[in-house]
Amino acid sequence: MVPSRRRPGRRPWLHDVGDPQPDPNLVHSTQFTYFFASRRRAKPAVDQPAPGGRLSGWLEWTRAEAFQTLSPFDQTLRKGEPWSSLQAKVFVVAQRSLSAVLAVYGPSEILWLDDHTDEADFSEFVRREALLGWLPERGVEFARLLCDTRMNYLGSPALVQSTMDVPAYSESDKADYQGAGMDETLAIVLDSERRLAELADHLRPVAVTSGKDGAAHLDCNLWTRIMGRLIHLALDLETDGGCRFAGEELARFVGKGYVPR
């Protein structure tokens, strides 16, 4: 009989098993919890509403505090295009109706893309990802990326280029309200449709113009699922990645939006 070379007490089914790998979701939740706690200490303004002259969002001042308690299920990695072409990994952190967008370049390199207090992190993101090079040819893609990142704090925004892009109540929705005797709700829906029709001339395709020394200016319109806000947005992009925004709310409670409870 050939003697076994197995060491005493060694379980054969553990022979090729290495150290257990940490759950990446748990790693990210811990990483992001620390990030938001650190940001609150370094920048108390994140616990305040968007400053005057800046578009207000949806409970934007509560996010940094709320996200100091994260579970492994509170963050989602954005996949597919354009996300897979970026250097950063882009995550959406969400709890109920609150969300934030983070670009992760490493364990200690995180940018808060929809920080409502200023453009510092988003400008750095634009610079690192060379997003100015998307313009003017990829203006619509850039505008959609803008909705999904920088403007996320407004409340689930989406790019709209005509009234057809605004989610509408269906005829069956309206028939249900009428059949249930919900006359007040039906009246609100019909008024929403009327006001949206009046704004048709304001909702135009994305427009990009080139400025001096390669800078660019972008005009677009957004609609937010939360509170059904229609917003006109103007963005100036400098060659160093610097951004300047100007926004105007055209209407609210138009389209099939909702108000979180």
The predicted-structure confidence for 173-187, as pLDDT tens digits, reads as follows: 999 998 898 999 999
Distance in angstroms (rounded) separating the CA atoms of residues 233 and 159? 10
Asked if residue 131 has pLDDT above 80, the reply is: yes
Asked if residue 1 has pLDDT above 50, the reply is: no
pTM of the model: 0.88
In tens, the pLDDT along 49-104 reads: 999 889 999 999 999 999 999 999 999 999 999 999 999 999 999 999 999 999 99
What pLDDT, on the 0 to 100 scale, is given for residue 132?
Answer: 96
In tens, the pLDDT along 138-196 reads: 999 999 999 999 999 999 999 999 999 999 999 999 999 988 989 999 999 999 999 99
> Are the C-beta atoms of 228 and 111 separated by less than 8 Å?
no
Residue 155's closest CA among 219, 85, 239, 223?
A: 223
In tens, the pLDDT along 98-114 reads: 999 999 998 789 999 99
What average pLDDT is seen over the chain?
91
Q: How far is CA 45 from CA 16, 42, 59, 110, 207, in A?
A: 51, 9, 14, 18, 33
